[in-house]
Amino acid sequence: MQTPIDRAHAAMEAAPLDDAARLRFYERLADAELVLMLGKEPVGDSVNPEIFDLGDARFVLAFDLEERLTAFAGRPVPYAALSGRALARLAAAQGIGLALNLEVAPSAILLPPEALAWLVETLDHGPGTAEARPQALHKPRGLPEVLLSALDAKLSTATGLARAAYLAGVTYDDGTRGHLLGITGAQSEAEAALAGAVNEALVFSGLEAGALDVTFLDDSDPLAAELARVALRFDLPQREAPQVRAIEAPGSDPDKPPRLR
């Protein structure tokens, strides 16, 4: 079974001078759920990862599939499941590197502490805030496919956080031009996470020198209607409502009288 990390690693290895391929690998690493090999069963929120000395650095071992951890260890071992971004922060804070998928996958790689520190710094470089009034909207033009794919991938993981996103070209009242992503139906507590995800799509596409503005809109906002007319639309996945089946009381349906025994 080939995982997203396997595919991103293969693309990075095939083009070692391609910064965009390297960035996409780190993006897949940050977004993945990893299993961290532990020395003993966790107690509450406290975990004790196995730490290995390899060369001049220390490394924790993590895998993107539980089966790969078991294959490496040769037996079931305790582990903790956490996101790649969370693991990078924990390891970087202690100056520890990451041994990923060691010996059990084509994506096996040693990431030294400085690589994890760079990843954490990149992830923590959040979006800024500004105020501007859109004067005109138009269809998006000139955006690279790598950014559109990155946006689609990021938004497709934001299940239940918003309803839709609309990407359009924009001219502001001060004459500046750019691109605007309007997000509708967002939960207020999810706005920061959504803005951060969009910022990551921009950065990991290798376009950090560019800009993409994000705004959150009510469905009744006139700007939302204008965006829907000209913009490229992304539909975010929604959580399925629980299935509720009504149970009729015996005798409540005249066509199905209760049976007497």
Q: What is the pLDDT of residue 107?
A: 96
- Is the Cβ–Cβ distance between 247 and 160 less than 8 Å? no
The predicted pLDDT at position 128 comes to 59
Tens-place pLDDT, residues 50-72: 898 887 889 999 999 999 999 99
Residues 197-213 have pLDDT tens digits of 888 888 888 765 457 88
Report whether pLDDT(254) > 70: no
pLDDT(261) > 50: no
Instruction: List domains and CATH numbers for the chain.
Output: 4-124 (3.40.1350.90), 134-235 (3.30.70)
Whole-number pLDDT of residue 129: 64
- What is the Cα–Cα distance from 60 to 91, expressed in whole angstroms? 8
Helix (H, G, I), strand (E, B) or coil at 242: coil
Whether the CB-CB separation of 102 and 72 falls below 8 Å is answered with yes
Quick check: 154 pLDDT over 50? Answer: yes
The model's pLDDT over 9-25, given as tens digits with 9 standing for 90+, comes to: 999 999 988 888 898 89
d(CA 37, CA 51): 9
Is 142's pLDDT higher than 90? no
Average pLDDT over residues 166-193: 90
CA atoms within 13 A on the CB side of 132: 20
Q: Are 154 and 197 in contact (CB under 8 A)?
A: yes
Residue linked to tokens 């084509």? 106
- Secondary structure, 3-state, 11-61: HHHHCCCCHHHHHHHHHHHHHCEEEEEECCCCECCECCECEEEECCEEEEE
Could you tell me if 30 and 88 are in contact, meaning their C-beta atoms sit under 8 angstroms apart?
A: yes
Question: Does the pLDDT value for residue 133 go beyond 90?
Answer: no
Report H helices in the chain: 4-14, 19-31, 66-73, 84-93, 113-124, 145-155, 191-204, 222-230
Which of 76-80, 84-88, 134-138, 244-248 is predicted with the least confidence, judged by mean pLDDT?
Answer: 244-248
pLDDT at 26: 93
* pLDDT above 70 for 243: no
The dihedral through the CA atoms of 109, 112, 114, 117 has a sign that is: positive
Q: How far is CA 238 from CA 104, 158, 184, 210, in A?
A: 35, 9, 13, 30
